[in-house]
A and B are shown apart, each in its own frame.
Chain A
């Protein structure tokens, strides 16, 4: 069941992979610019980037900060300097990317500023003492006058702790800075060391600035080519299997010709060998004339197939590919199953009796394209009754072997197929004949349409085991018998004969017309 959908599944998978590859290079292709925004929660008017964030994506970054209604200042400095500057105010720390469009942020409260070690801050001089020493008449303030001015200045510079941070642009620590009304932008090329950006909105009641970092991003599509290659290969494989399945369904002989037209190398597959054996079994029931004709046809076969190196390759490819397909019988039997077929499928060991003993008259090894029955493996998959004739060393006679007899049901159709087209042969299979009362068992069928060449081997051909043709395999032995010849014709470009799908009634009519 699963096998039937395998080619389709491979095609779908191939399409999927190709689609993903295309999507990775179009729909999902990264933008040439990575642009990420930090929208700060209300935590002061300061945004700081952690070290390493500025060159997160590439070495050149454009920093943009915007705070409508405020003047915005962006600076870049050593990470420790920026952190120390920002520490005195509540601020937002940008730690990285949370997605390709957003920056990950962290809020930090104002920490207690480092106690200034400047002694001048401790001086208690009055401002007047420092600005106008002459106004002072007390020696002590004037002694401290030095520090008084410094203290006042320092207080002005370091502003308040907490609350709104002052304009950072007065500091000497920054390497680059930019400012503007409502927004500011600066670019920064990465350099060795640890650097941070600081964005501050300055105003009477500044809003927290929105920080945007954008990096040019070298766009690559690393998945496109592999996905196309893999997907394309899967697609081809699936389509090839589909085509093969279809061909096998429509004219299994053609497939068999592809594969069997050349000498199948020994050990090409145990299944196949088993099939060879089982398929050849019915030959025992043939008349000598049939055997001769069959032999003649077989001799012609290699000539037709002209097994060259390419053909051998093709044969092995087809043989290999067939493994991916379910047995034709299974594929076919399900949709077109008739009561007869079902009956035969339901009894997997119906025909021990029809299995004749190997015919001593058959010069097996000489005519067999496959040298010897050295097919140890896979024998177990063949029903026991087909194995019986073989221990004698009798080798399969038919090069155009059937599908691997991998299923228990398989012998039944094969047995049916291998039944000769003549009513006499049909009668021999008592069980099956009984199971198919509708079978008219017509004589060898004439080509349904088109005039076959007078010397067409189709008519005199003895029944040969053929692939279970849909519908026809079970019901229409004449058609089955003729499909092989049909395959030859097709291979040579002659008009084909009846499709394997013809039902018995139709065939009967055709046969009658042909007469």
Chain B
């Protein structure tokens, strides 16, 4: 009897317990979507627009007074240096046209599929109002707590066009500086191009690059300088120019055809040495130098931004320079 009673009471307790337990629904647990194998684009279209809007606002404020102070919020690297120099010249000469016009409306956006830093977003802007060629803006986020800043801009060179890249909603794969699968790794591209700039057609790498307007312009400018100095000072003046890739400032994205878009920073340094006589500068150079005459030496520092299109490995195509910028950011001399 007692066993039966115990069993009965146990059954009743069990039933009541079950009823109570079922009345209190189980706590939901977090079931996030699985982490994707390929990270999603770091920014969506709205966020890119917001970044560009922020950049435009900063530029607008800074442009109004030629004051570089606000620029740090949205500019860095070659872009910050270039803009700062432009403000200096613009203020000295009271000529706003010396500033590079930077539209912030986008034609093409390349977003990176990444979850690491630094991150770079590439924007091909609309054509500026002065009908120059569109700019290729590279916006970089250095670390999670930093905003995207305009690291550099470059002008699309004549007769070039951007390669097909993945839609910004899909995102493009960022490539490491030593990424394989290309005719040259991104790092090699910049180093060899610098060698080609320095040595011209004598460079062993000259055959890798198709002739481009930027290279021609560099050569032309240097030759003109040499010619002018020789005419004025004879052998008393020597001119040398070096091309140094900025270490680490290399942003690469795969394109749809398996190639890569490689954006690199480079510093060009032009050194004048005088053994006699003196050189007078005018206008923008004088503004940057802070004086008009040097008698012993002068050093010009240029911030360069280069955009290469690198074919995939096995391709017979040559590496092409799509866009470039070459802005004098500092001049020192005495």
Is residue B43 contacting chain A, with contact meaning CB distance below 8 A? Answer: yes
Count B-side interface residues using an 8 Å CB cutoff: 75
Binds A, one of B126-134, B140-148, B228-236, B316-324: B140-148
Residue-wise, chain B 266-300 has the 8 Å CB interface mask toward A (1 for contact) of 01010000000000000000001110000000010
Task: Please report whether the interface of chain B is mostly helix, strand, loop or mixed according to DSSP.
Answer: mixed
Note all chain A residues with C-beta closer than 8 A to B246.
Answer: 119, 146
Contact of B76 among A150, A159, A168 (CB under 8 A): A150
Note all chain B residues with C-beta closer than 8 A to A17.
Answer: 19
Is residue B28 contacting chain A, with contact meaning CB distance below 8 A? Answer: yes
Least CB distance, B303 to chain A, in whole angstroms: 6
Note all chain B residues with C-beta closer than 8 A to A100.
Answer: 27
Count A-side interface residues using an 8 Å CB cutoff: 73
Contact, CB under 8 Å: B142 / A28: no
Is residue A349 contacting chain B, with contact meaning CB distance below 8 A? Answer: no
Is residue B47 contacting chain A, with contact meaning CB distance below 8 A? Answer: yes
Note all chain B residues with C-beta closer than 8 A to A138.
Answer: 332
Contact of A50 among B30, B35, B77 (CB under 8 A): B30
Contact of A145 among B35, B50, B54, B329 (CB under 8 A): B329
A339 to B42, CA, bound (A): 96
Given A80-B39, A157-B147, A173-B47, A143–B301 Cβ distance below 8 Å? yes
Least CB distance, B19 to chain A, in whole angstroms: 5
Note all chain B residues with C-beta closer than 8 A to A357.
Answer: none
Given A28-B23, A158-B143, A194-B32, A16–B288 Cβ distance below 8 Å? no
Given A158-B142, A172-B51, A133–B30 Cβ distance below 8 Å? no
**In residues 104-161 of chain A, which contact B (Cβ within 8 Å)?**
113-114, 116-121, 130-131, 133-134, 136-139, 142-143, 145-147, 149-150, 152-154, 156-159
Is residue A2 contacting chain B, with contact meaning CB distance below 8 A? Answer: yes
Binds A, one of B64-72, B210-218, B256-264: B64-72
Least CB distance, B83 to chain A, in whole angstroms: 10
Binds B, one of A52-60, A264-272, A303-311, A318-326: A52-60
Contact, CB under 8 Å: B1 / A52: no
Is residue B81 contacting chain A, with contact meaning CB distance below 8 A? Answer: yes
Is residue A4 contacting chain B, with contact meaning CB distance below 8 A? Answer: no
Kindly name the residue among B69, B140, B142 whose own CB sees the greatest number of chain A CB atoms within 10 A.
B142
**In residues 1-22 of chain B, which contact A (Cβ within 8 Å)?**
1, 4-5, 8, 12, 15-16, 19-20, 22
Contact, CB under 8 Å: B23 / A192: no
Nearest-neighbor residue (CB-CB) of B117 within chain A: A114
Kindly name the residue among B16, B40, B73, B117 whose own CB sees the greatest number of chain A CB atoms within 10 A.
B117
Is residue A360 contacting chain B, with contact meaning CB distance below 8 A? Answer: no
Is residue A20 contacting chain B, with contact meaning CB distance below 8 A? Answer: yes
Note all chain A residues with C-beta closer than 8 A to B20.
Answer: 20
Contact, CB under 8 Å: A119 / B144: no
Contact, CB under 8 Å: B77 / A96: no
Note all chain B residues with C-beta closer than 8 A to A24.
Answer: 23
Given A87-B144, A153-B149, A171-B147, A146–B51 Cβ distance below 8 Å? no
Is residue B330 contacting chain A, with contact meaning CB distance below 8 A? Answer: yes
Least CB distance, B23 to chain A, in whole angstroms: 4
Contact, CB under 8 Å: A158 / B8: no
Contact of B32 among A79, A131, A170 (CB under 8 A): A79
Note all chain A residues with C-beta closer than 8 A to B19.
Answer: 17, 20, 223, 227
Note all chain B residues with C-beta closer than 8 A to A116.
Answer: 117-118, 142-143
Nearest-neighbor residue (CB-CB) of A88 within chain B: B145
Contact, CB under 8 Å: A172 / B50: yes
Contact of A51 among B4, B32, B75, B332 (CB under 8 A): B32
Note all chain A residues with C-beta closer than 8 A to B115.
Answer: 78, 80-81, 84
A2 to B40, CA, bound (A): 69
A20 to B18, CA, bound (A): 11
Residue-wise, chain B 218-245 has the 8 Å CB interface mask toward A (1 for contact) of 0000000000000000000000000000
Contact of A97 among B27, B267, B269, B332 (CB under 8 A): B27
**In residues 122-173 of chain B, which contact A (Cβ within 8 Å)?**
140-149
Kindly name the residue among B22, B27, B71, B267 whose own CB sees the greatest number of chain A CB atoms within 10 A.
B27
Contact, CB under 8 Å: B72 / A149: yes
A119 to B35, CA, bound (A): 30
A223 to B33, CA, bound (A): 31
Given A2-B8, A117-B118, A121-B142, A52–B76 Cβ distance below 8 Å? no
Contact, CB under 8 Å: B329 / A172: no
Contact, CB under 8 Å: A52 / B142: no
Least CB distance, B194 to chain A, in whole angstroms: 15
Least CB distance, A180 to chain B, in whole angstroms: 21
Note all chain B residues with C-beta closer than 8 A to A153.
Answer: 72-73, 76, 80, 149
Given A2-B4, A113-B143, A154-B143, A133–B77 Cβ distance below 8 Å? no
Is residue B309 contacting chain A, with contact meaning CB distance below 8 A? Answer: no
Contact, CB under 8 Å: B40 / A193: yes
Given A56-B28, A57-B28, A131-B69, A149–B16 Cβ distance below 8 Å? no
Nearest-neighbor residue (CB-CB) of A146 within chain B: B81
**In residues 170-196 of chain A, which contact B (Cβ within 8 Å)?**
170-173, 175, 192-194
| 24 A–B contacts, CB within 8 A, in A order | A1-B1, A2-B1, A16-B16, A24-B23, A52-B30, A56-B29, A87-B144, A88-B145, A116-B117, A119-B249, A120-B249, A121-B142, A139-B330, A143-B267, A145-B330, A146-B246, A146-B329, A149-B84, A150-B76, A156-B72, A171-B144, A172-B43, A192-B33, A223-B23
Q: Which B residues have a C-beta under 8 Å from some C-beta of A?
A: 1, 4-5, 8, 12, 15-16, 19-20, 22-25, 27-33, 35, 39-40, 42-44, 47, 50-51, 54, 68-69, 71-73, 75-78, 80-81, 84-85, 88, 115-118, 140-149, 246-249, 265, 267, 269, 288-290, 299, 301, 303, 329-330, 332, 334
In the A-B complex, the 10 residue pairs with the smallest Cβ-Cβ separation, listed nearest first, are: A52-B32, A52-B30, A142-B330, A150-B76, A146-B81, A119-B248, A51-B32, A153-B72, A84-B144, A118-B142
Q: Give 19 new A-B contacts, CB below 8 A, not counting A96-B30, A146-B80, A166-B145.
A: A51-B33, A97-B27, A117-B117, A117-B118, A117-B142, A134-B288, A142-B330, A146-B267, A149-B72, A154-B142, A157-B143, A158-B144, A158-B146, A171-B147, A173-B42, A173-B47, A175-B44, A194-B32, A227-B19
